[in-house]
Chain A
Amino acid sequence: MADHHESGQGGAWYRTYVVTWVWLLVITGLEISVVFVGLAKTLVVTLLLILSLMKAALIAAYFMHLRYERLNLVYVVITPLILAVILFMGVAPDALNAFRLRR
């Protein structure tokens, strides 16, 4: 369960939380700079999506302790989110079509 990470490595028990916190702030800073540095729109969108998925993974894995749960539970949590992506892929072609028609 959730206590496994606290034994075996040195330092205080809250070390993992502090490291996660710092990484989340670093990635947030990166996200904001990616927007204002002036890259191509497609590249910005791709980078932002990757960075936000990284943040979400960090929060779920370390703050929500999902990394220390059984794989059973991890699968139960992740599967519906894959379905949500499929949901968006279902509506996206229609929206893209309207987007092209309007330009």
Chain B
Amino acid sequence: MGAAGEQERVTASAWGGGESPFAVPWTKLMMWLFLISDALTFAALLSGYGAMRLTAGAWPRQSEHFDIGLVGAMTFVLICSSATMAVAVGGARRGDRRLVVRFLALTILGGLTFLGMQAYEWTHFIREGARLIGFVSHEPALTAIPPMFSATFFVITGFHGGHVTSGVIYLLIMAIRAARGLYSGESIEVLGLYWHFVDLVWVFIFTLLYLI
């Protein structure tokens, strides 16, 4: 590069091309962009939930339908799996393959435990008479509940559970690849971004659907 080229490189803005304005690898940037769009989908679902809950006027007390202790345990498991994921990312950056595989396995275990508890919760709720279109029951107290109570519950926790399921599959693939030595610090970090995002969304679902 000559003196003129050097001059241009120094004066051109970071956005002029040929630079990396975010200073991250492209896979990481693409994952961030996907997560932003996914966050907006969840934001739309949760805004819709808020609007419908307000519009319904009366809303059942959540603790009468869900075991808050169980939901607390689900939150605990997901936070722990996020922490093990973070350690796996750190291990991958240090090239410690055994650590990566072990902590990815722990993260998978956390994800599967979460899904198991969610399946249990759904089963309990469905046996009570809850359906996507409202409650099907002989008890007037249940049929008086706004249909949106069970509808928003199934759609939002289902959409999140779908994310956990695809996350577990993603984790499995990457764990198998890591066990064969096919991984990089970058690929595990991008995987980590997805998994932490699933945890981050659960923070809001836990608060807005179960606690408020």
Contact = CB atoms under 8 A, between A and B. Distances in A.
Partners in one complex: yes
Interface of A: 1-3, 13-14, 17-18, 20-21, 24-25, 28, 31-32, 34-35, 44-45, 48-49, 51-52, 55-56, 59-60, 62-65, 69-70, 72-73, 76-77, 80-81, 83-84, 87-88, 91-92, 94-96, 98-99, 102-103
Given A52-B203, A59-B200, A84 B211 contact: no
A56 B200 contact: yes
A32 to B, nearest CB: 6
Interface in B32-69: 32, 35-36, 39-40, 43-44, 46-48, 50-52, 54-58, 68
Given A3-B93, A56-B204, A103 B57 contact: yes
Nearest to A73: B22
A2 B50 contact: no
Interface residues of B, number: 51
Contacts of A20: 83, 86
Given A62-B86, A63-B86, A77-B36, 10 more contacts: A24-B79, A25-B76, A28-B72, A44-B212, A52-B207, A56-B200, A56-B204, A64-B192, A81-B43, A87-B43
